[in-house]
Amino acid sequence: MEVIVVLNRCTDRTEEIARAAGAVIAREEAKNLSRIRNAGIAASSGEMIMTIDADSRFHSMTFCDVAHKLSSGRYVGGGAMVYPERYSAGIIATGFVAALYLAKFRASFGTFWTTRKACDAIGGFNPEFVTIEDVDFAVRLKQLGKHRDQKFGTLWRSALTTSCRKFDQFGDWHLVRDSSFVARAFTGKDQAAGDEYWYEPGR
């Protein structure tokens, strides 16, 4: 197993800590999550690929579950159930909104797991998307699975735990109350929206 850490305009000790832990370092300075994720994939050498954001944590059974599903040949890849590290009325309401959106695509996100061949077949993450690049990736991976008669899976037992730092910063009701921002972010190509919420805050 190898761990790839992609540095994106880092100003702290991320590289030092990652190298000390034995991680492979990649760099991508663009304010574009698709390019950042692709840089990590390009720096890897394994046949099975998983992605995760720096503010999320894998379950202890994640790797076993992914290896089992991909080795079976029945799955093109998939995502995972995601739980927040804390709960509030605003976070729960946001979760319901997100669930309605995810139901439209019948795909899960949080972390992506697939094979290198499948990832290459769909061209990785599309750099035209500066936001919702994960939705686009999931949709294209799912389409590939249909063509290959393979399933798009969800890790239910080994769910992901994700940070609530954005809720801490913007407020627990931010994504429920600011529908105009959500609409802009869900176009996938609004750089200003991406900068406002993902690329510039807290730097």
Pairing of strands 24-27, 4-7: parallel
In this predicted model, what pLDDT tens digit does every residue of 146-203 receive, in sequence order?
999 999 999 999 999 999 999 999 999 999 999 899 889 989 999 999 999 999 976 5
Tell the burial category of 149 from Cβ atoms under 10 Å away from its Cβ (0-12, 13-18, 19+). Answer: exposed
In this predicted model, what pLDDT tens digit does every residue of 117-146 receive, in sequence order?
999 999 999 999 999 999 999 999 999 999
DSSP H or E stretch at residue 180: helix 179-185
What is the domain partition of the chain in residue ranges? 56-199
Q: Are 191 and 130 in contact (CB under 8 A)?
A: yes
pTM value is: 0.93
